[in-house]
Amino acid sequence: MKDLKALFVSHFGDSAGAVHYAAPGRINLIGEHTDYNGGFVFPGAVTQGINALIRPNGGTTMRLYAADLDTYCQQEIDNEVGPEHNEFRYVYGVAREMMAHGVDVKGFDAVFSGDVPLGAGMSSSAALESCFAFALNDLFADNRLDKMTLARIGQATEHKYVGVKCGIMDQFASIHGKKGHLMRLDCRSGEYEYFPWKPNGYRLVLVNSCVKHELVGSPYNDRRNSCERVAAAIGSKKHGVETLRDCTWDDLEQIKAAISPEDYRRARYVLGEVDRVLAVCDALNRGDYEAVGQQMYATHEGLSKDYEVSCDEIDFLVDTARQCGVTGARIMGGGFGGCTINLVDDNRYEPFVNTVQNEYKKRFAIDCKIIDVAIGDGARRIE
C-alpha cells in the first residue's frame, strides 16, 4: 500500500481522500463444467487479489494507472467506444454497467495492482471487476446494489466489453467470499450457501503446469453441445428437462442407445460431478477432509477419461500427487493445461513439492510453479 500511495501521489498530486478497496481471485474446489449444465460450483475467495486506491475527482473522466503494467489511461466515462487495452476496459465496462443500473458514476482517479498469479486460472480479471464494482457502488450509489447484482455487473463486463462469455462463478466468488468458508453456488437458481473450510493439518496448493494446449476447433463448445444434445434427448421423453441438472441417472440410461458414446460419457461426467459436489458438502459439515480428497480424485478421473479435458502434463501432476500421498488432486478450470488443485497433508507438503518439481522437470523439460493459497474475504473497503 505504501507503493500504491506513492504512485497515486505521483500521478494525481496527493492521496487525500483516496480510499483503499480490495477484491480477491478465487479457486474452485470441485464442480467443473457444471455451470452451463445448471449444476453446482464450489469456489472460495483467496488472499491474492487486486488492491486499488480510488478517489472521486469531481469531473466526468476516469484516470487510471495500472501499476503492474506501468500503463496509464484517461477516458471520458460517457464515451461510447472506451479504452483499447483490456486492463482498462474492465474498469470502463464496470463503470458503464453501474450507470445502466442507475448508479450516478462520476469521474474518479485510481491506481491499482494485483498479486493473482497470471495464467493460473485464479480469475484476476474477475478480481479487478469486483474491486471496482464494489468501490463505485460504495462511492457513488445512493441506494447500493446488492452483491449478486455486483457480480452480474462483472459478468456483463466480460460479455460486452471484453468478449468473454464467462459464467457467473468467478465474479460471484470474488464478491461473496468469506474467510474460512467455501461457497456452494447453484448455477440454476443463483442460491448459495457457505460451508466451513477449516482444514487443520491440511493446505491447498496449486501446481501450475505452465502449459496451455491450443486445440483445433472449439473443444469447450463441443462439450457444451454434447450436454445440450443429451438434455434435449431426455427432454423429448420427460417434461421439464432444460439442462443435465434436471436429469437422473435412470433418465440417462434410458436414452443411452439413442445418443453417441461420446455424448453419453460427457453426460455421465456431469451427473457424477453434481453428486460429488453434494458429497463434498456433507464431508465438510463432518470435517472429513479425507473424503473431500477422494471426491477430488474422482472428479479428475471423470474430467480426464469421460470429459477429456485433461492433457499429459496435468495427468502427470495428478498421478505424482497420488504417489506422494496427497489427500486430493484434480485439474482446475476449463482444461487442456493450467493448474491442478491439491489438498495436501502438512506433513507431506515439502516432500510433495520437491518431488513434483523435480519429476515434472525431468519428464517435460519445463518448470511447474507452486502456488500456496488460503481462503480469504471477498470484495471490501479497507479502512
Residue 372 annotated among the catalytic residues of the structure: no
Which entry of 3, 70, 146, 170 is annotated as an active-site residue?
170
Set of cell numbers at residue 71: 500503463
Rg of the chain over CA atoms, in angstroms? 22
Paired with 192 in beta bridges are 185
Set of cell numbers at residue 69: 503494467
Give the 3-state DSSP-derived string for 160-193, with helices as H, strands as E and coil as C: HHHCCCCCCHHHHHHHHCECCEEEEEECCCCCEE
Class of residue 14 by CB neighbours under 10 A (exposed 0-12, middle 13-18, buried 19+):
exposed
Rounded to 5°, angle at Cα 88 from 86 and 91:
115
Set of cell numbers at residue 258: 439413442
Residue with grid cell 484517461, as numbered in its chain: 74
Cβ atoms within 10 Å of 207's Cβ, excluding its own: 28
What is the b/e burial string over 279-306, where b = at least 16 CB atoms within 10 angstroms of the residue's CB? bbbebbeeeebebbbbbbbbbbebbbeb
Tell me which residue of 43, 127, 141 sits closest to 95, measured CA to CA.
141
Q: DSSP 3-state assignment of 105?
A: coil
- What one-character DSSP code corresponds to residue 375? B
- The residues that are catalytic are 170
